[in-house]
Structure 1
Amino acid sequence: MNTKAIYAACLFAALNICTLSARAEADVAHETYTYGSHPDIRKVVSLSEDAEPACGVVNARLTYLDSQDQSHVLDYRKFSDNCTSQN
C-alpha cells in the first residue's frame, strides 16, 4: 500500500469520528435553566458563551454528563467574561 492511500484512510476515519460526535451533540435536547432547578451534573464537558465584545449579560451553554452518563445541554444567561476587568 502506498502512503497516499494510508493518509487518505486516516483522514477519512478522522472525519467520520468528527461527524459522529457532531450528530451525537445534535441529538441532545437543549434545556433552559430556571431558578430553583437542580440539574444532575456529574461531569462538565464544555462551557461556551456568545461572542460579545462588551461587558453585559450574554447567552451561555453548558454541556454536561449526568450520573448515568447521558449528555445534556443547558442554556442560561450570565455576565460576559469580558466583565472581569471592569467595576
Structure 2
Amino acid sequence: MPHEKILFALSLIAGLAAQAQAQDGAVAYQYGMDLDIARVVNITPVADVCGPTPVEMTYLDSKGVTHILQYSEFGTGCSN
C-alpha cells in the first residue's frame, strides 16, 4: 500500500513537470537554424554569473505565430 502511494506521487510530479515543459515550448537554438523573426516580444534578463547562461527570446514570426527560442549568452557577473 505505501509503495502505491509513492508511485502515484512520483507519477503525478513527473506529469506536472512534463506539462510545464510543454507549456513553455522553448526550442534550443542550434547553429544554422532558419529563423523567421518578425518581432521580438521579450528576452529574459541575463543572469549575474561569470560564464554562459541560458536566455529565452519570445518572438513572433512573419505569420504572427509566437515562438520561444532558448540560447546561451555570457553572463554579466565577470569583473574583468
TM normalised by structure 1 equals 0.57
Match of 1:46 among 42, 46, 50: 42
Aligned partner letter, 2:29: Y
Asked if 1:37 corresponds to 2:36, the answer is no
> Hey, which of these two has a bigger chunk of helix by percent?
1
- How many residue pairs get aligned? The number is 59
Shift of 1:28: 6.0
| 4+ residue segments displaced more than 6 Å | none
Asked if 1:75 corresponds to 2:75, the answer is no
Query: Unpaired runs of 5+ in structure 2?
Result: 1-21
Shift of 1:35: 0.6
SS in 1 for 2:49: coil
Deviation readout 1:38-72 (Å, 9 max, x if unpaired)? 21000000001463x33210001000000000000
Identity rate of aligned residues, in percent?
36
- RMSD between aligned residues: 2.4
Query: Unpaired runs of 5+ in structure 1?
Result: 1-25
SS in 1 for 2:44: strand
Match of 2:16?
none
Match of 2:58?
63
